[in-house]
Structure 1
Amino acid sequence: MCETCGCDAGTGAGGTARLTTLPAPDHEHGHGHGHGHTVTLDQKVLAHNDDLAGRNRAWLGERGIVALNVMSSPGSGKTTLLERTAADLSAGSPISVIEGDQETLLDARRLSAAGARTVQVNTGTGCHLDATMVARALAALEPPDGSTVFVENVGNLVCPALFDLGERARVVLMSVTEGADKPLKYPHMFRGADVLLLNKIDLLPHVDFDMTACRDAARRLRPGLRVLPVSATRGDGLAAWYDWLAETRRAPT
């Protein structure tokens, strides 16, 4: 059982989390080579999480690697955003993804096809990634020095907010199909955000969503929070998102 959130993460004493590494496609030939490999990991959930997160941060910093923890509720569009980001930016700078899901390789395959070297972490019944999982995933992923690593956390607005993974910054994503009061209902998640992406703005004409109320609620929790309206499918606002990524990469650690 997870000592913090009470979930049966499937990674306690005698439990396992599963990692599967998928290579990015060969851009010259248009396909990847091989089928990756799967590693079974025995680990205790939350064992020295904060200490290991600090070690992750130091390891990443020594190599000039920027890690970003991407969090949202299920269906907000994390994978679509990262798929589009990898397709648009990976040719200029290597992008890797640690993909967290309870089961399947579906999202990891999408991200690999988009140009990102990807490792899938399947948590079983677990509702979040922790620093131990990320450390093992980084070892399997072997991201190049000076690159960007996105950690796509398990879809959940509660537990992932509690776990430091060693990331440079936290990206919170929500869609306009969710309630504008979501920041007030899940304050810990939004209070810890470094940027908030309001996704699926192409659907605004069809949903009842108060953009101003949502932005104001988030900024009451995190004054000055950068809020970026985007459509990951249509491309609206992605230039501002890419500018934020560039600023974050240039910022001193």
Structure 2
Amino acid sequence: MCKTCGCGDEAQAKITNMQTGKQVDLEGETQEHAHTHDHSLDDHTHIHADGTTHSHTREDDDDHHRHHHGGAEQGQILSLQRRLLAKNDAIAAQSRVWLQGREILALNIMSSPGAGKTTLLERTIAELKDEVPLFVIEGDQATSVDGERMRVAGASTVQVNTGAGCHLEADMIARGLMELRPSTGAIVMIENVGNLVCPALFDLGESCKVVILSVTEGEDKPLKYPQMFQAARLMIINKIDLAPYVEFDRERCLVNARRVNQNIEVIELSSKTGEGFLTLRAWLLQELARTRDETWRLSDGSRPEGLIEMH
């Protein structure tokens, strides 16, 4: 699970297929082992659980003891973080190839809790399910409540419960895709765990990241959580029907968002009333068309004559 923030060490993540009720427990990350050694030896080698080795000299050990143990532990933590992120990115890259090969638009949808992700997905399913195959990977720490909402709305859904984890990771998405088996030309909507910090750091293999900002949260969120808004291609300002009642400064919000990401696209809407939803619908269909075009375009700029069979 997450070594970036330290969450989820005891978590038991699981995937639930909302159509069949089938559940799959996901194995947690292998924990690094602790080891002790005799510093009286001049030279010695450690063999780690992953099969890698490294050697120490007495000079190395003396240098180690010149530092506080806290510094050494911090170095080990940073090293572990890098390895876990590298593993995550490798799995994400495989999922991205799998999705692109099937002309699938995958959206990593992120926000703080209560910004309206689930309601937005429900409306999207209601508006588009007769035009485009829609699939959902629903992320929450616990319960299948939102996954059931997606199923009832009309989309094939898997629920990923992360336990104590604060975000989805690439291996969860890969397993979810294998369970869903989305059809060619579909849109896969990944609703990440409600959190404006860690989800921005983890590549899931998505086509792009989308951040939802509710007017009730205030216009300063892009400045307070810059990594989230830097990572997103699209910012959806949701609940605009409530803007007059919460004194939301729209212009200030746009200025703040573009201070951290000058290229961010913005759509303003209300998931509840449907205001502004036609703009989102057009964006989704445009991105799906772009995904299909990029899939079939050859390196010389031409396009293949016939359909290529994919497995």
TM-score (norm 1): 0.91
Q: Which secondary structure does the structure 1 equivalent of 2:158 belong to? A: strand
Structure 2 residue aligned with 1:5: 5
Q: Please tell me whether residue 197 in structure 1 is matched to residue 233 in structure 2.
A: no
Structure 1 residue aligned with 2:298: none
C-alpha offsets along residues 122-160 of structure 1, whole Å, 9 cap, x if unaligned? Answer: 001100000011001111111111111000000000000
Query: For the residues of structure 2 that align with 1:94 and 1:36, how far apart are their CA atoms?
Result: 21
Give 1:80's match in structure 2, choosing from 116, 119, 132.
Answer: 119
Give 1:138's match in structure 2, choosing from 177, 182, 200.
Answer: 177
Q: Superposition pairs for residues 18-167 of structure 1, below 5 Å?
A: 18-23=14-19, 35-44=20-29, 46=84, 48-167=87-206
**Structure 1, unpaired ranges of 5+:** 24-34
Q: 1:9: how far off?
A: 5.1
Query: For the residues of structure 2 that align with 1:241 and 1:5, how far apart are their CA atoms?
Result: 33
Query: For the residues of structure 2 that align with 1:108 and 1:8, how far apart are their CA atoms?
Result: 21
8 Å CA contact 2:105, 2:186 repeated in 1: yes
Query: For the residues of structure 2 that align with 1:140 and 1:10, how far apart are their CA atoms?
Result: 24
Q: Please tell me whether residue 17 in structure 1 is matched to residue 13 in structure 2.
A: yes
Q: 1:8: how far off?
A: 2.2
Are residues 180 and 188 of structure 1, via their aligned partners in 2, closer, same or farther at CA, if it must alter by over 3 Å? same
Structure 2 residue aligned with 1:222: 261
**Structure 2, unpaired ranges of 5+:** 31-83, 296-311
TM-score (norm 2): 0.74
Structure 2 residue aligned with 1:208: 247
Q: Which secondary structure does the structure 2 equivalent of 1:74 belong to? A: coil
Q: Which secondary structure does the structure 1 equivalent of 2:217 belong to? A: coil
Q: 1:93: how far off?
A: 1.1
Q: Letter of the 1:37 partner, please give it.
A: K
The Cα RMSD (Å) is 1.4
* Higher share in helix: 2
Moved over 2 A (4+): 8-11
Size of the aligned set, in residue pairs, is 238
8 Å CA contact 2:185, 2:288 repeated in 1: no
Percent of aligned positions that are identical:
53
Q: Letter of the 1:41 partner, please give it.
A: L
Q: 1:10: how far off?
A: 3.9
Q: Which secondary structure does the structure 2 equivalent of 1:42 belong to? A: coil
